Amino acid sequence: MGLYGTYVAPHVINFACGSSGFAKWRARCVGDLNGRVVEIGFGAGNNLAHYPANVSEVVAIEPSKVMRNKAQRAIEEHHITVTWGGLDGQQLALDDVNFDAAVVTFALCTIEDPIAALRELRRVVKPGGELRVLEHGLAPDPAVARWQHRINGLEKVLADGCQLVRQPDQLVASAGWTITANYQRYAPGPKPWCYLTSLRAAN
């Protein structure tokens, strides 16, 4: 991964994805969940402020030691039970059908094999359980999309593998989830980074 990817990129990513401008998007994503939740790409715990009290536990998957250390402050501030569940979302060391819901926020852009991760979530979520996704991705406007393709290589280098040109809804559907709601629009900010998808899917 190198020194940049290990020690610098996590701070860059958290600065970008931890913006207060995304708070309402995060609340929309997780604000009405309940029961036991597995979250891939837990990061610095930016979703914890938005989980409701009837979430009994969040099992967090996060490969970055820097992010896990940053998350400790959020864990201490919020009354949500958080258990560390491993490092690799593509191969979860978790039992089958053991969760009421799964959450992925700003991680499908970076995971090397996002469909593998989404299939793993299907394995561990109970039948009838839900997937909640909040991601940036390929914009529908041709001019913006062209810029995304132009700078995608640089983005991958600067943001530890993050890609601007993935389509989260297509990834979710390809992994076998049934999309039940899909909200897509630009958030405030530079358009190549701010076309967001907030979706719900059933297992």
pLDDT digits (tens, 9 = 90+) for 123-161: 999 999 999 999 999 999 999 999 999 999 999 988 878
- State the pLDDT at residue 160: 78
Residue 49, SS3 per DSSP = helix
CB-CB contact of 100 with 125 (8 Å):
yes
- State the pLDDT at residue 179: 98
Q: Is the pLDDT of residue 1 over 60?
A: no
- 50: exposed, middle or buried (Cβ count in 10 Å: 0-12, 13-18, 19+): buried
132/102 Cα distance (integer angstroms): 6
Q: Is the pLDDT of residue 118 over 70?
A: yes
- State the pLDDT at residue 5: 57
Task: Characterize 184-200 residue by residue with b for buried, 16 or more Cβ atoms within 10 angstroms of its Cβ, and e for exposed.
Answer: eebeeeeebbbbbbbbb
- State the pLDDT at residue 47: 96
Number of domains in the chain: 1
**Which residues face 200 on adjacent strands?**
132, 181
- State the pLDDT at residue 159: 81
Amino acid at 74: A
Residue 126, SS3 per DSSP = strand
CATH number at residue 20: 3.40.50.150
- What's the rounded mean pLDDT across residues 57-78? 92
CB-CB contact of 40 with 103 (8 Å):
yes
Q: Is the pLDDT of residue 67 over 50?
A: yes
Per the structure, the complete domain to which residue 78 belongs is given by 2-202
- State the pLDDT at residue 4: 46
Put simply, whether the predicted model's pTM sits higher than 0.85 gets the answer yes
Proportion of the chain above pLDDT 90, given as a percent: 79
CB-CB contact of 46 with 78 (8 Å):
no
Q: What is the mean pLDDT of the chain?
A: 91
> Which are the contacts of 2, defined by CB distance < 8 A and separation ≥ 6?
none
Instruction: Report the DSSP pairing between strands 195-202 and 125-136.
Output: antiparallel
